[in-house]
Amino acid sequence: MDQVEVIFKDSQYCRKCPSCRRQIRCDTLQELANVFAGVDGQAFRSCLKCRSKRAGKNQTGVSQSAGFDLDAGYDTHEELVEAVSAFLKQHDDHKFDLTAQPLKIKATLSSTCCIDNDVSIGACAVSTDGDLQRRVAMMLRSDIFDCSGYYFHLQHAHERRDGAKFSFSCPASVDDRPAERDPSTIQRYTVQKQYFECHGEFYISFSKANASATVMYEHIGHTESRKFHMTDEVRNYIRSHKYLSPRQIYRNLLQMTSVSDFEKPEAHVITRKQVYNFCISLTQGEWHRDVDDFKSAQLLVAEQDGYELLGGLQEPGILLAFVTPCFTDSQKFDRAKMTEVFIDATFGTNRHGFELYCVLTEYDLVSLPLSYLLLDTRGIQEDGKRGSRLTTWLIELRNAGLMPKWVHTDKDFAGIISFLPTHTDIL
C-alpha cells in the first residue's frame, strides 16, 4: 500500500476510499491493506464494500438491492408520504435486530409529481439548476425523516449522464462511526450515542430521459433519531409569517439558512411536519371548535355572518354544504341577475381526502362564490352515490331561488352530466 495515502490518527490507520468517500479506519496497517486488496493480494483504490457492490451488479445485471419490499410509482407527493408512512409503521418497530434483513423501498416519482407548489419532478429532473435539485432532495430527505423517524446525512452529490444523484447515510450506522478516543479522557455531558449495524442508505436519483426521480431506501430498524428542536429564531420567524402557508414558510426557511443568522445546523434539519405542527398551534384557536372535525367545521360555518349550512346536506364524514353571503344577501345581490353559473371541482383538498365543489356566478363582471360542498363517497357502496348527492345540492340551490339560464361545467363534473338527462328540471 502507498504509505502517502495513509493517515495515522487517534491510534488508528486511516485511508479515504475515492468511491464512497468514507474514511476507512483500522487498528493495524495490515488490516487496512487487506480492505484495499483482493484475495490474491492485488491492490485496489476502492474499499472492499464498494468492490462487493460492483461485483453484485456485474453478476446479475442489476444492483444487489433489487427485490424491494415496497416498489411503486407515485403521481403526487401526498401519495408518496402516505404509502411510505403506512409501510414503515407496519414493518418497522424501531427495535434493532442484527439478524433482520434491511427494509428496501423504491419509489418512482412521475414528472407531474409536485414536491413544492411550483416545482414539479419533471422540471427539476431536466433542470440545470443544481441548487433547485439539492433543495428538492433535502425536502424528500425531511419527508423520509417524518415517515421513518430516521435522519439521514447527505454524503455526496454527483452529476451522472442521465441526471443528478444524491446519496445519504444513517449517522447511527457503524460505517459512519468516528474513531473512539480513550474513554478515560472523555468528560461526557450527554448520553453516549448508539451505533448499529443498520446499513442505512438513502438515494435520490433524477432522470432527464424519463423526467422522473427515483427514491431508494434501505435500512434495518433501530432507535429513532433525535427530533431536532426549533430555535427561538425559527419560532419567531414562523410567528411573524403565520399567514403564509406552512409549505411556503418551510421553503423560505430552507432558502434562508445560507444567508440568515439562524443556527444553520438546526434550520437545515427542521422537517416540514415540524413547521406544519407549529403553524397549526399558532392558528388553531381561530378555526378549531370541536375534537370531531366534521362538527368543528359545522360550528365554524355557523359562526360566520352570512354563511348558512344547507340542512339536507349534512352527512357526518360524507357531506357538508353551505352557502355564502353572496347568496344569502338578496338585497345586495339580486338573484335574478345570476343568469350564468359555473360549477368547478377540486380533489384531494385535505388529509381526509374530501372533494371540494363550488358554484360561482358572474355578477357585474365579477365572479362570486355562491355555495361550497365537501364530499367523500369512497366508503359508500351504492350506485350513483356522487351524482345523487350533487343533484340534491343543486336542487337545494334551485329551491332557494337560484334559476340560471346557462350552466358551465368541466370534465370533472361527469357525475352531474350523466345525471341531468333524467332531471332536466333541476336548473
The segment(s) of the chain belonging to CATH 3.30.420 are 293-422
Confidence at residue 369, expressed as pLDDT on a 0 to 100 scale: 93
Q: Tell me what the mean pLDDT of segment 7-27 comes to.
A: 72
Q: Helix, strand or coil for residue 300? A: helix
Q: Is the pLDDT of residue 190 over 50?
A: no
The pLDDT confidence band at residue 217, using thresholds 50, 70 and 90, is very high
**Cα–Cα separations (whole angstroms), residue 219 to 60, 140, 198, 201, 282:** 22, 16, 6, 6, 36
**Cα–Cα separations (whole angstroms), residue 109 to 113, 134, 271:** 6, 16, 20
Lowest mean pLDDT among 6-20, 45-59, 114-128, 367-381: 45-59
Confidence at residue 175, expressed as pLDDT on a 0 to 100 scale: 67
Confidence at residue 263, expressed as pLDDT on a 0 to 100 scale: 46
Confidence at residue 166, expressed as pLDDT on a 0 to 100 scale: 94
What's the rounded Cα separation, in Å, for the pair 7 and 368? 72
Confidence at residue 5, expressed as pLDDT on a 0 to 100 scale: 61
CB-CB neighbours of 196 under 10 Å:
19
Give counts: helices (H), strands (E), the chain. 13, 17
Confidence at residue 108, expressed as pLDDT on a 0 to 100 scale: 92
Lowest mean pLDDT among 2-6, 109-113, 214-218, 273-277: 2-6
Distance of CA 248 to the CA centre of its chain: 14
Confidence at residue 2, expressed as pLDDT on a 0 to 100 scale: 45
Confidence at residue 176, expressed as pLDDT on a 0 to 100 scale: 60
Residue 350 backbone phi and psi in degrees, to 5 = -150, 180
Lowest mean pLDDT among 13-27, 172-186, 288-302: 172-186
| pLDDT tens figures, 279-313 | 888 888 888 888 877 888 888 888 889 999 887 77
User: C-alpha cell of 289?
Assistant: 371548535
Confidence at residue 257, expressed as pLDDT on a 0 to 100 scale: 61
| pLDDT tens figures, 62-72 | 344 457 888 88
Distance of CA 224 to the CA centre of its chain: 19
Confidence at residue 414, expressed as pLDDT on a 0 to 100 scale: 52
What's the rounded Cα separation, in Å, for the pair 98 and 310? 59
- The domain defined by 70-178+193-219 carries CATH number 3.40.1000: yes
The segment(s) of the chain belonging to CATH 3.40.1000 are 70-178+193-219
Q: Where are the beta strands (DSSP E) in 200-352?
A: 201-207, 212-219, 308-315, 319-323, 340-346
Confidence at residue 182, expressed as pLDDT on a 0 to 100 scale: 52
The CATH classification of domain 293-422, taken from the options 3.40.50, 1.25.40, 1.10.357, 3.30.420: 3.30.420
Confidence at residue 65, expressed as pLDDT on a 0 to 100 scale: 43
Confidence at residue 319, expressed as pLDDT on a 0 to 100 scale: 82
What pTM value is reported for the model? 0.50
The residue with cell 402516505 is: 82
| pLDDT tens figures, 354-375 | 888 899 998 888 899 999 998 8
- Across the chain, mean pLDDT equals 78
Lowest mean pLDDT among 157-166, 253-262, 334-343: 253-262
